[in-house]
Amino acid sequence: MRPKVFIAKKVPKEVEDYIDQYCDYDTWNGSGLIPRNELLKVIGNSDGLLTNREYINQELLDSAPRLRVVSNISVGYNNFDLGAMKSRGIIGTNTPTVLDDTVADLVLGLMIATARRIPELDRFVKAGQWRGVVGEELFGTDVHHRTIGIIGMGRIGECIAERAKFGFKMRILYCNRTRKVDVENRMGVEHCSMEQLLQESDFVVLMTPLTPKTVNIMSDREFNLMKRSAIFINASRGETVNENALIKALAEGKISGAGLDVYSKEPIEPHNPLLGMQNVVTIPHIGSATAQTRFDMAMLAAENLVRALMGKEPPNLVPELRESVK
């Protein structure tokens, strides 16, 4: 009997066709994300689940007694209740590597957009306010030859460092759970404490995964350590930042600006003070949002799912759930 799969979000036809070669499947055909109560109703006879945001907890597992594999279309897997999944022997997978360059491109774009005030000046021109020579009040900040501090030197962090070093000739500081001597030798980046990174960087880029230890890793103390001229960039997860502390730092001029792809609550609420700040660039969690990268992520997630359901170790097994593979 072929395994049964539920696809909880819209994916390209090629991805469905690939799954169809090995599994029977149902898919959510509604707009947006499938409502939680609807998913709990339809997942009961599924052996595998393809998703990217659905919280995989005891409630969902109780509604899916046959479930063996959950494949995330995401590099992150903070939607996995690892304890609950371990207790059931559920295999979990993610989609690293295929989005590294795309996210790194976006981070550099956020840095340039914030430093050179591109969205603000775009609005200035379109509002008909450009009537002569641009004065100092609209000047931006250079990116080249400045110091960038990267908090979290994973694969994406390395891609950011490469662009900053060889494209913009920047000095690169980093802090990470483990020191990356090979990266230091290859690119001349400098390992340091988080305190030194915050004090010396012109751009602080947060790229750490979301874990219990990284929740609010940037808060009042950290923003107070930054240069008043520094710019903060977050393309990790919104919960890694104490958003009230960030708003306070920006409002009081403790830092110069921020470029944000993620927020403590998403979609961002319309009354959030960040939306009224000219020195903040806000984009809607689009780190991996190009057509090619999203296709590659969906296909990799499908390959992970099928391989696990066929009784083989998937290429991108979540490390904490490795013992679930028999």
Residue 208 CA to residue 175 CA, distance in Å, equals 10
Residue 20 CA to residue 23 CA, distance in Å, equals 5
Interstrand relation of 280-282 and 24-27 (parallel, antiparallel or unpaired): unpaired
Residue 235 CA to residue 300 CA, distance in Å, equals 22
**pLDDT confidence band for 261 (50 / 70 / 90):** very high
Q: Note the pLDDT of residue 326.
A: 63
Q: Note the pLDDT of residue 324.
A: 80
**pLDDT confidence band for 314 (50 / 70 / 90):** very high
H helices present in 21-171, as ranges: 36-42, 58-63, 82-88, 100-115, 118-126, 155-168
214 in Cβ contact with 189 (< 8 Å): no
Which pair of structure tokens corresponds to residue 48?
């595998």
Which pair of structure tokens corresponds to residue 79?
């939607």
Q: Indicate which residues carry an active-site annotation.
A: 237, 266, 285
> Please, what is the average pLDDT of the chain?
96
Domains of the chain: 4-96+291-324 (3.40.50.720), 100-282 (3.40.50.720)
Angle of CA points 224, 229, 170, to nearest 5°: 110
**pLDDT confidence band for 322 (50 / 70 / 90):** confident
pLDDT tens digits along 159-216 = 999 999 999 999 999 999 999 999 999 999 999 999 999 999 999 999 999 999 999 9
260 in Cβ contact with 287 (< 8 Å): no
